[in-house]
Structure formats: structure tokens, C-alpha cells
Amino acid sequence: MSKQLTKETVISLLRSGYKVNDELSALFKTHGISLPQFNVLRILRGRKGEAANLSTIQEQMIHKMSNTTRLIDKLIEGGYVNRFVCEKNRRMIEIFITKKGLELLNSLDDKLETKEQFLMNNLDNKEKEELMRLLSKIQTSTISENKL
């Protein structure tokens, strides 16, 4: 593979990622949350009432970030999540999604599905499967820092 083709492929991948990010961010912004905040709420809803701690949330986030605590604080301010600090071990913090957080996600489900369909409307199912396969190969590749 030529170096130029590799560069063009990476640039195209970045442009596509930014387009998806921009479209989803615009959707969530109309509901007063950011894409990372949505991601946290999605993770908590998936736990089906079971508590999560900060490290569990960070491990599952699509975009790993160091400011997860700030994201949680903003979601608490909005009434979308609750945080409980264990009295016996103050380092043990449990985070739960609230009824308001679940209602927000439920109100977004159909809109998000419509947006996802819009973003992928140029691909048929076979192409989506192939794209998923190819992206998976990129996501699982490991690069040695010594080679960079």
C-alpha cells in the first residue's frame, strides 16, 4: 500500500468520524447534553439499575477522557444521575441513572435512530457489515511506540 493511499485513508476516516461526531453532538445539544454526557447516560442505563463507579464508566466510554468526574457533576446538576459516597470508604463512589436520565434517553432513542439511519443511508447492510469488519481491524491493531 502506498504511503499516499494510507494518508488519504486516515484523513477520510477522520473526516467521517468528525461528521458523525458533529451530527450526534448537534442532536444532543438540542436536549442540553453533550455527546460524552450521553455516552455516560447510555452506560448507566445499560447497567439496569446496578451502580457504576468512575473507573467502570471510563473503561466503557467510547472516547476515554480524564474529565469524567466533571461530566458526572454536570449530569448531577441536570438531575440525570445520582452519586452516593460510601460513609465507611469515601473513595467508594456509586453512580446511578435517575428517572429523569432514563426519560431523557427514552426521548432520544427514536431521534438517535433516525440520525443514525441518515448517517448510514448511503450504505446497504452488506457494506455496513464490511465497514464494521474493517473498522474492527483498525481498532484492534496495536502499534508499538518504538515504531512511531
pLDDT by residue for the chain (148 residues), tens only, comes to 589 999 999 999 999 999 999 999 999 999 999 999 999 999 999 999 888 888 888 888 887 767 888 999 999 999 999 998 877 776 778 999 999 999 999 999 999 999 999 999 999 999 999 999 999 988 887 554 445 5
Q: Would you list the domain boundaries of the chain?
A: 3-147
Q: Per the structure block, which three cell numbers stand in for 87?
A: 460513609
The set of long-range contacts for 51-58, using a CB threshold of 8 Å and a minimum separation of 24, is 51/84, 51/94, 51/95, 51/96, 52/94, 52/95, 52/96, 53/92, 53/93, 53/94, 53/95, 54/93, 54/95, 57/95
CATH of 3-147, one of 2.40.50.100, 3.40.190.10, 1.10.10.10, 3.50.50.60: 1.10.10.10
Contact 43, 61 (CB under 8 A): yes
- Report pLDDT for 32: 94
